[in-house]
Structure 1
């Protein structure tokens, strides 16, 4: 069964990249999937509305866009929210909050859920995408996320049960390299990042205290689930494997999964 929120929720905070004050409202819907509204423009949270994947995932249409949707989408996936309108009230980004999905979960839990019409679906076979040695796949399974990423001091790998999302994945914050901070800000990125909402790394380890020894790779899992939800439907009963992945590859996987679901008659 699908679900939506029992009532509206308002969220406000600084945008991770823009540094702007950003305000959104989560508005219950009985059907229609996950959609975004920016002014008069309304469109689905889906791979074919992705405009950019540099450091975050940006969705938009007709000159209107909103960035950093992946943390909220990840939380909506975790709570099995299948129908919702995300109204962007101010700013051009989803609020960063604490840089993870934890506060989005708390906001959803504060109002609770009720049934809605859009049912989750299942994959019938494996879907894979690759870019050189970067690979991602989703396949029928028992709900295991296997993620490997390369950090300055070497590879980091996790294997987690997706059902343990609240404890093992949601608290993991976004991260960045200390040597890249100034360059990112010169590009207009990371302007809202702080030592509270982001984990900073250098060649010797963590600059600030991590929530987990492998927090960056857990955050990769968080991002991957959020980007994958852009396939257009909430997936049940799948395993996720990601090696050296990023937003661009994850959106490609979302597209491939969406196309496979259409072939199955589940789009």
Structure 2
């Protein structure tokens, strides 16, 4: 039996939000067993805690946004959730003085390192694992995301971008904490050079810069160096892991993704949630 885990001591991280560009401090606290993952906005008077076990997914455009509406939400949670999955954390409270988690370097590695530095404490309650009993999927004209019964957590992702710097990339592996730390957590968020200006006009990426985002030109990232030859597809896998951890517990399944993004990821999470509530 695998036990639940929390962090051994509290810590905080600070930076600017990737989408809003606003400075934010995020404080991480140990939480009791069976409490789950909790977000709380300290800048909102009377703000309600957002608990993954009873969350509402509000938006999926360019990032994952959760909460209860009326301004009580937290956005861009996928990178920290991926890090929590990689560290095996089940119970934690994250309090932040803004709407968006800090971007750090655009990957999950800063969150993961801080969690491990704080220490990880085992708890007595058994860890709950989501086991997929039947195939579930979400799709549109160009993308597909399916989840199937399996004895392990394996993800296969096909990424295709109309840019010679990205093109077609494929990643497939059984995922475990060691592989995540070495092969997935360091992968940074990215966008195409020609997308950057349009995203700003739409109100996104106000905190993006060349330190936290790979801006892909025709021959590679601008003023930056790839950590992996296929870093973009690895970041897509990172996002998928974080989005699936919105379930608040690890999942045992075979996952196949073709050009999937946050919208399909969270559509599938909703379908899994419906199954858990039956």
TM over 0.5: yes
Instruction: Specify the alignment match of 1:72 in structure 2.
Output: 80
- What SS does structure 2 have at the residue aligned with 1:41? coil
Q: Pairwise mapping of residues 8-19 of structure 1 onto structure 2 (< 5 A)? A: 8-19=10-21
Contact between 1:33 and 1:118, CA under 8 Å: does it hold in 2?
no
Match of 2:91 among 56, 72, 83: 83
Q: Runs of 5+ in structure 1 lacking a partner?
A: none
Structure 1 residue 17 displacement after superposition: 1.1
Instruction: Specify the alignment match of 1:33 in structure 2.
Output: 36
Counterpart check, 1:157 vs 2:170: yes
Instruction: Specify the alignment match of 2:117 in structure 1.
Output: 110
- What SS does structure 2 have at the residue aligned with 1:193? coil
Instruction: Specify the alignment match of 1:127 in structure 2.
Output: 136
- What SS does structure 1 have at the residue aligned with 2:49? strand
Match of 2:237 among 221, 229, 233: 221
Structure 1 residue 23 displacement after superposition: 0.8
Shift in alpha-carbon separation, 1:129–1:85, aligned structure 2, 3 A: same
Residues of 1 paired with 2:53 and 2:230: CA distance? 29
Contact between 2:5 and 2:120, CA under 8 Å: does it hold in 1?
yes
Give me the CA root mean square deviation: 1.8
Deviation digits for residues 118-166 of structure 1 (CA, Å, limit 9, x no counterpart): 6231314233222233111223243322111112233211112312101
Shift in alpha-carbon separation, 1:49–1:216, aligned structure 2, 3 A: same
Deviation digits for residues 25-75 of structure 1 (CA, Å, limit 9, x no counterpart): 111111311111113311213685221111111112242122110000111
Match of 1:254 among 261, 264, 269: 269
Instruction: Specify the alignment match of 2:6 in structure 1.
Output: 4
Match of 2:146 among 131, 137, 143: 137
Residues of 2 paired with 1:253 and 1:67: CA distance? 19
TM-score scaled by length of structure 2: 0.88
TM-score scaled by length of structure 1: 0.91
